[in-house]
Chain A
């Protein structure tokens, strides 16, 4: 079985590296993007199994990328995890309302994030 492909999009290089490192160590294939437009392009091109999107990005933000993924017939079933530094409960709700599978607030534990991504993939297969 081929390894699951995860797209990670964040405009902060340190966090991008943190998440990709963790996910790679945990056995995922990872592609990364530094803004929303790039993330959407990669998503269309490579069809990752899971997209981990930061909400606060230049250009298209995470919520907009999510909306386009959900509106696209071919990408619709992709698992999407939103990352945000916003702490409001209302933001969390907006994230779920937009169709996120998971909403993770910064700061987070990379190991736990990786674990959740794994669970999402397993849940999707069962």
Chain B
């Protein structure tokens, strides 16, 4: 069904607007017009009640007051139909006029809850607008009416309607302080009251007294429809509880409204004087005094708020500057710490190498039979242990230095075009004595040349790390193979052993810094857990990668894949490295 696609407020707006032309199709003052009037009148409080049920606003009292105001209006209309042609003031006028304070109270309550912590400002704005408008209403509408009619009669009653509009306006004005005025529901209320007000003013200022069927009725009908739609719109629930906290802004238009309010009293007096009318001096002046006090209060509030904002801003800026200062200090400290770390690493490296030079050198001298009398076997073996331990210590120093440099982002490669097969052969031949002393078969399989662009020292370090690892973790009688071959993408290098292998789940972690396999720790094989971390770093620095395949007890294979050299770049002369 098509009607289902529309929301209640849309349906109500459509039907309500359609009824207004219908009103004028009936004969002026006829039953048809009264019927339309009653229908719209009765529908309005019902719509408000339905809106409350539908949207469940937290604050319901204002909306019930709103509905009550319309009920009064319905009763007033009923009386005006029943008591046709009675002299005014009639019962009907009494009911109509009762509706205004109810509606005004409803608006005031909504406004106060919507303005949040700006309640005083909202009240002051409402007061200023109300008093200013009262000056206008009094001098142009009410005072002449009362004088003309001598205090009673139809004109006075008609003049009461615009007076009541002042009340509504008071309720409405306060909303402009809060963000509630941006909600559609409030705009509908505003439009409805403005329309109602226009109708009342037309009646009050008009030359003839009001009778049903005039053009002015369209304003009243439209006002009722708009007000009912305001209560049906979903945003009605936000009206008393705006989602965002109200922010205070001194907009140009607000200042203009305040200035205009201040000018109403003098302008009115000037107008009366110019036209030679009697001056309403006391009324206008007392209202003007009230307005002035309110405006002064309002401006004081605005200035104070501005001062508070400025103070807060100054504090925030001071805090930000302080923070900035602290950050700079911290940054300097970090840089200093970084520099100290580098110095420390360099120092450690240097200062450990110097005593190691003595240890290694003097052990060598002590073992040299050409230098002094030969040592017995036991002493030779002791010195052999010193020698091996110093080699291990040296290796550890080198590894730590390498990792420190790596983490500082200072691993600099010095690539040259070289033959990987030759380096592999060299790594195997250098490890051969160690393999033999442990009873291991160490061999190289592969034929060169395998051209690659790489840092010779680092690649050797990488291969040596892997071969040394294999030697360490392979029990006597096992064998270790280093194989190389050319692949489609570059060069593949495998180092496999028949050693203890890795426990399940350890394969992913062997390249972590300081990682040591539980098997290795259990069998007390010495090491730092840096070798494979370094191997991975070197492989990756060359644009390659390293991977491992292992079976517990069934040996381990490390595979390195290096990319093929990209053409022959600038050749860096090979360093003449010795020792």
Residues of A at under 8 Å CB distance from B? 12, 14-15, 18-19, 21-22, 25, 56, 85-87, 89-90, 92-93, 96, 102-113, 116
Contacts and interface: CB of A to CB of B under 8 A. Distances in A.
Give the secondary structure class of B's interface: helix
Contact of A104 (B351, B360, B401, B578): B578
A15 B440 CA distance: 37
Contact of A18 (B350, B361, B575): B361
Contacts of B368: 25, 111
Nearest to A14: B358
A106 B357 contact: yes
Nearest to B572: A93
A116 to B, nearest CB: 7
A108 to B, nearest CB: 5
A107 B349 contact: no
7 contacts: A21-B365, A85-B354, A103-B576, A107-B353, A107-B390, A107-B394, A108-B579
A19 B362 CA distance: 10
B321 interface: no
Contacts of A103: 576-578
A21 to B, nearest CB: 7
Contact of A112 (B349, B354, B579): B579
B575 A90 contact: no
B398 interface: yes
Given A14-B358, A105-B579, A116-B578, A110 B353 contact: no
Contacts of A19: 361
Given A87-B401, A89-B414, A109 B579 contact: yes
B252 interface: no
A87 B398 contact: yes
Interface range for B: 20 to 34
Contacts of B353: 85, 87, 106-107
A86 B347 CA distance: 9
A108 B371 CA distance: 18
Contacts of B351: 85
Given A18-B362, A85-B349, A25 B578 contact: no
B457 interface: yes
Contacts of A108: 357, 360-361, 579
Contacts of B371: 21, 25
Given A25-B370, A25-B371, A107 B357 contact: yes
B350 A85 contact: yes
A104 B579 CA distance: 6
Contacts of B360: 107-109
A109 B578 CA distance: 11
Interface in B339-367: 346, 349-351, 353-354, 356-362, 364-365
Q: Looking at A21, A89, A105, A107, which has the most chain B CB atoms within 10 Å of its CB?
A: A107
Given A85-B350, A103-B578, 15 more contacts: A15-B361, A22-B361, A25-B371, A85-B351, A85-B354, A86-B346, A89-B414, A106-B353, A107-B353, A107-B361, A108-B360, A108-B361, A109-B361, A110-B364, A110-B365
- What does DSSP make chain A's interface, helix, strand, loop or mixed? helix
B82 interface: no
B412 interface: yes
Given A25-B370, A111-B364, A15 B576 contact: no
Interface string B547-579: 000000000000000000000000000011111
Nearest to A25: B371
Contacts of A22: 361, 365
Contacts of A104: 578-579
Contacts of A18: 357-358, 361-362, 365
A90 B412 contact: yes
Contacts of A93: 575
A101 to B, nearest CB: 9
Contacts of A92: 575, 577
A25 B359 CA distance: 19
A107 B356 contact: yes
B361 A96 contact: no
Contacts of A110: 361, 364-365
A116 B364 CA distance: 16
Nearest to A108: B579
Nearest to B352: A85
Nearest to B368: A111
A109 B358 CA distance: 10
Contact of A85 (B357, B361, B370): B357
Nearest to A104: B579
Contacts of B350: 56, 85-86
Contacts of A89: 412, 414, 457, 575
Interface in B359-406: 359-362, 364-365, 368, 370-371, 390, 394, 398, 401
Interface string B68-93: 00000000000000000000000000
Contacts of B576: 96, 103
B578 A102 contact: yes
A113 B361 CA distance: 10
Nearest to B455: A89
B365 A15 contact: no
A104 B371 CA distance: 23
Instruction: Sort A-B residue pairs by CB-CB distance and give the 6 closest, nearest first.
Output: A107-B357, A85-B353, A106-B357, A18-B361, A14-B358, A85-B350
Contacts of B358: 12, 14-15, 18
A109 B364 contact: yes
Could you say which of A19, A93, A106 has the most chain B C-beta atoms within 10 Å of its C-beta? A106
A19 B365 CA distance: 10
A35 B346 CA distance: 22
A90 B575 CA distance: 10
A105 B576 CA distance: 12
A47 to B, nearest CB: 25
A54 to B, nearest CB: 9
A12 B361 contact: no
Interface string B277-321: 000000000000000000000000000000000000000000000
A56 B351 CA distance: 11
A92 B358 CA distance: 21
A126 B248 CA distance: 97
